[in-house]
A and B are shown apart, each in its own frame.
Chain A
Amino acid sequence: DIQMTQSPSSVSASVGDRVTITCRASQGISSWLAWYQQKPGKAPKLLIYAASSLQSGVPSRFSGSGSGTDFTLTISSLQPEDFATYYCQQANSFFTWTFGQGTKVEIK
């Protein structure tokens, strides 16, 4: 099974900061990676799919990059509504999904 490792597990940042979250796959997954945002008590929300494609309606301050085993989610200028937990998800095989353990973005 493909394992997904996110880092860091948490990050403290201020409004306006640039925040970068990384996700590493235990084997190559091409560009079959998504990023989700989840706020407390709410369902996850798709931000980025296919490693770098921005989901409709998602602000352009969110961007994704990478392929193979190493991927990055970047928030270019953190906004108050961006404080949440972020998950990566691999879908290299159409037979199984795997999520990373999550990265909590907290107010500094």
Chain B
Amino acid sequence: DTGVSQNPRHKITKRGQNVTFRCDPISEHNRLYWYRQTLGQGPEFLTYFQNEAQLEKSRLLSDRFSAERPKGSFSTLEIQRTEQGDSAMYLCASSFRAVPDTQYFGPGTRLTVL
């Protein structure tokens, strides 16, 4: 196992289009997180799953964003009707519900909305 993987690494889309990103966590990890990061800022929490259950969703997350983790393994993050403000790096992380909850991050998907 080589760690958390994310696909695609880069995505360029036109405003109004839908995009979907995939995250494959470390296999024995039961927690999976999505973050958004813009230039000069730290990762901003979007949502997290424990197994297949989505336990928390940021209030900042608009209803154009949806995430799933159908079998408690990989996860997808979909953005509908993309806007230029959605341009950012989208990071996925996984953890094993340890104390503290040390998260292992993937390399991210960079989204550019034209």
Say whether A and B bind each other. no
